[in-house]
Amino acid sequence: MNLPSLAGLRATRRAALLALSLWATQGLSPAWADAATPPGAQAALWAVAGQEQPALLETLRALVNIESGSSDREGLDRISELIAGRLRDLGGEVNFIEAAPADLYRMEDTPSRPGRMVHAVFKGSGQRRILLIAHMDTVYPRGMLAQQPYRVEGNRAYGLGIADDKQGVATVLHTVALLKRLGLNGYGQLTVLINGDEEISSPASRKTLAQFGREHDLVLSYEATRVGGDKLSLATSGIAMASLKVVGRASHAGGAPEAGVNALYELSHQLLQMRDLSVPERGLKVNWTIAKAGVVRNMIPPEASAQADVRLLRVSDLQALDRELQARIQRRLLPGSEVSVSLENRRPPLEPSDAARRVGAHAQQIYREIGHELQIDDRPEGGGTDAAFAALETRAPVLERLGLQGFGAHSDKAEYVLLDSIQPRLYLGLRLIGDFAAGRVPGPN
């Protein structure tokens, strides 16, 4: 790994001193101000990672102050312009990617115009290609920013969408900024992809994520790690939704019930014969959670429907489950009923690979340099992320949770990130990218 130039270090020191004076006027003390370099750390990298904290927090403020819910195209366009401008200023070849209609995986909650992607490419002097991903959309509707504005209290920075995933966007931007500042360009290509539809299962970006994952040698995804556990994840859950629909025939419930076909009866029959689809030892969970039937009390129900939440750990289980669902609906209670079932692939699982384990082990060594212990988790926690799409068509290592330590995602008042996680997480990213680019970390076989 190349050391920063003397001019670069001088500029960095001047920026850090200015930021420190600004913090002091507000009665604040950044965590890095009094922190000595850990004995095993590379001093220059550790120093600039700490000095970047005030600038990263200002970026967080700017991102949080733009409301960017997954269905808010105007807000998503605004925040994507901000991100694209930052990446252009850093010297990237930047463009927006809009999914073609044929590439859009439309689901029940897919907006008419999902958010566009920000794509940036930085050329280096080496061979290996590295992809950094994060998302700029949030789960919050417009107007909620007033309830959760950006603010810093002690070791916490609060704000709407700050943990999920505006911290990820900010961490990527400042990781790239530090790489450029320090002249660490040993990669062949560094690609940044920020999408605007992750919270609605990435209907517009999933195909691009899979393509880019296939074209790169390492994928780092910047979802937040937990406040209670400093970790990287090698596995995430897959998420799907099963939809069951029954069509019967309406009739007067008192005058001619025998002339009808009771869709509620058929739905009940189908649900009872599908109650045992879970396979706990494989991590496959199928739970019917919503059911609807009937129009009015005195009418035989002509239609009924139900939905199931599906969680899975293996990509192959989704196809197997679909085959089993189609087979079971053939066994009907009422001959005159029509039964159909569909399986909506919300998000595939990220399955751990040996290549990802090797990169994870190297990340643990980097963290030990700064006196921290890093947990490498190869069991999913229940949620799904875009890392799974990036891993679908590649044998390259894919790692999740490179972002800051965060808490309160999808909550209305308590979402925050820890300030003292900024320096170690920036240092980890810089070292991991530099070491992988230099060939000090094995790639895929």
The rounded distance, in Å, linking the Cα atoms of 351 and 81 is: 34
The rounded distance, in Å, linking the Cα atoms of 5 and 14 is: 14
Helices 43-51 and 53-64 meet at what angle, rounded to 10?
40
DSSP string, 250-291: --BTTT-GGGSB-HHHHHHHHHHHTTT--BGGGTBEEEEEEE
The rounded distance, in Å, linking the Cα atoms of 242 and 375 is: 34
Give the number of other CB atoms < 10 A from CB of residue 381. 14
Q: Do 196 and 135 meet the contact criterion of CB atoms below 8 Å apart? A: yes
Provide the token pair at 381: 């926690």
Which three-class secondary structure state does DSSP give residue 239?
A: strand
User: For residue 377, is the peptide bond before it cis, meaning its omega torsion is within 30 degrees of 0?
Assistant: no
CA atoms within 13 A on the CB side of 125: 10
Query: Could you confirm whether 137 is annotated as catalytic?
Result: yes
Q: Do 374 and 231 meet the contact criterion of CB atoms below 8 Å apart? A: yes
Instruction: Considering the candidates 67, 72, 137, 351, report the single residue annotated as catalytic.
Output: 137
Give the number of other CB atoms < 10 A from CB of residue 298. 10
Query: Could you confirm whether 109 is annotated as catalytic?
Result: no
Q: What type of residue sits at position 230?
A: D
Beta strands 189-195 and 129-135: pairing type? parallel
Sequence-ordered list of residues with C-beta below 8 angstroms from that of 205, at least 6 positions apart, any chain: 97, 99, 114, 117, 193, 195, 196, 197, 198, 386, 389
Instruction: Considering the candidates 72, 165, 197, 198, report the single residue annotated as catalytic.
Output: 198
Which three-class secondary structure state does DSSP give residue 403?
A: coil
The rounded distance, in Å, linking the Cα atoms of 440 and 362 is: 9
Any idea which residues carry the catalytic annotation?
A: 137, 198
